[in-house]
Amino acid sequence: MELADLIGLRPLPGAGLLLTLTRRCPLACAHCSTASTMRGEEPDSGRLLRFVASFTDDNRPDVVMLTGGEPLLLPELAQRLASRAREAGSRTALLSGMFFARQRRIPARIMGAITAVDHFSASLDVHHEREVPRSDVFQAVRRILDSGVTASFHITGSGPDDPYLAEVTDEVRHVFGDQVPMLVTEVRPMGRAAAWAARPRPPVDPDRVLPCSAAAWPVVAFDGTVVACCNQDVVDRRPVPDHLRLGHIAEDDWRAVRQRVLSSPVLRMVRVAGPVRMKARYGRERTTAPCQGYCGTCRSLGDEPAVIEAVSRVASGPVGELLDREAARVQVQDGPVALVRRHGSAPYADLVVSAERSPERGSSEGDVRCAGKHLGGRIAR
């Protein structure tokens, strides 16, 4: 499974699942969105396994993203989850901070977990490099590629003009050629970065339709709560707003969670129009949301009963289902590069597609766009 396949599925409701194995991590990266330490909490492993075991051949996510914290602190659990997901036909991807690469070898337990998944992604940025040398990360990724597992880099910078991004992406291409695609994003003011990465939120045009693909895939959070969004504030804060809570793995199986994702009128309209447009259209006061921003407006929708009531009328039933399906179809048709251009670092968006699949290098754009039909993004931590 290539990175473009994974990103290509991101707008499709219920096509993927983000599964948090642990909040623990042995690294102390200054930008960590989860503020992970070795004392972090984690869901009950038995409940995680039972939840994945509830997948069936005809009702399962196309892809499961194993993340954390550092999921490879629990390599046997990661391997068992990948195996159970595969039994139902789901593919798996795993994102790691590469702590193990400092040993200049990959321990057998960790290699077993890596070779059990369908795609492996390594985090790389200036903060990770203070913890794990780049050369060690490259050496480990080379061994992973040699094992037959497809791999990618998740690279984070301070902004599109960050010289680190230009330097590191050039080196990845120099070392790996066109073999390893890259998802390039920018540091968000979350977790440890909240104290130093904050920047003014630009006004959001209330007349602009901005569909939210982040509300398409359920996320199993650190306490086993299942939420509708990978935004860290939604994952971390309790209580979860009612319209963003999908259940708990102690009580609900995949079928129940997926049904709530697909049938919720509020989530449908978040995916179709975006929360700011919803609030401007149905709320008591027109707003450009300069303080709350896009995601803050979404989290506060429960405080707007007029919005919830209106959206429930508009987006319930077959009409809402049709709108939701069409919004997803358009985003999948636009392809993974367009999605990363919006949510990641725009100047580097084309790196998400490997050379042999890039339309500029001989294959058709349609090949990339159609990947979402079959395969499996936060697109990371």
Q: How confident is the model at residue 91 (pLDDT cuts 50, 70, 90)?
A: very high
> Would you list the domain boundaries of the chain?
3-203+334-373
Pairing of strands 63-67, 119-125: unpaired
pLDDT at 233: 93
Spatial separation of the C-alpha atoms in residues 280 and 292, rounded to whole Å: 13
Residue 185, classed as helix, strand or coil, is: strand
pLDDT range class, residue 104, cuts 50, 70, 90? confident
C-beta atoms surrounding 319 within 10 Å: 12
Report the distance separating Cα 172 and Cα 182, nearest Å. 9
pLDDT, the chain, mean = 90
User: What is the tens place of the pLDDT at every residue in 313-351?
Assistant: 999 999 999 999 999 999 999 999 999 999 999 999 999
Q: Helices marked H in 54-162 — which ranges?
A: 75-87, 108-114, 126-129, 134-146
Task: Tell me if the bond preceding 239 is cis, omega within 30° of 0.
Answer: yes
Instruction: Give yes or no for residue 160 having a pLDDT over 90.
Output: yes
Q: What is the pLDDT of residues 16-27, one digit of tens each?
A: 999 999 999 999
Q: How far apart are CA 201 and CA 106, in angstroms?
A: 42
Q: How far apart are CA 311 and CA 225, in angstroms?
A: 25
Percent of the chain with pLDDT over 70: 91
Is the predicted pLDDT of residue 175 greater than 50, yes or no? yes
- Whole-model pTM: value is 0.90
In this prediction, residue 362 carries a pLDDT of: 34
| pLDDT single digits (tens) 201-214 | 778 888 899 999 99
pLDDT tens digit sequence for 244-303: 999 999 999 999 999 999 999 999 999 999 999 999 999 876 544 445 789 999 999 999
Please give the pLDDT value at position 355: 63
So what's the pLDDT on residue 366?
33
Tokens of 320: 């809402």
Does pLDDT of 356 surpass 60?
no
pLDDT in tens, 111-148: 999 999 999 999 999 999 999 999 999 999 999 999 99
Record the tokens describing residue 251, joined without a space. 């009580």
Q: CB neighbours of 195 closer than 8 A, spacing ≥ 6?
A: none
Share of the chain above pLDDT 90, in %: 82
Mean pLDDT of 67-85: 98
CATH code of domain 3-203+334-373:
3.20.20.70
CA angle centred on 41, ends 21 and 113, rounded to 5°? 25
**Average pLDDT estimate for 162-167:** 97
Write down the residue that tokens 């914290």 correspond to. Answer: 69
Note the pLDDT tens digit of each residue in 184-203. 999 988 888 888 887 777 78
What is d(CA 341, CA 350) in angstroms, rounded to the nearest whole number? 8
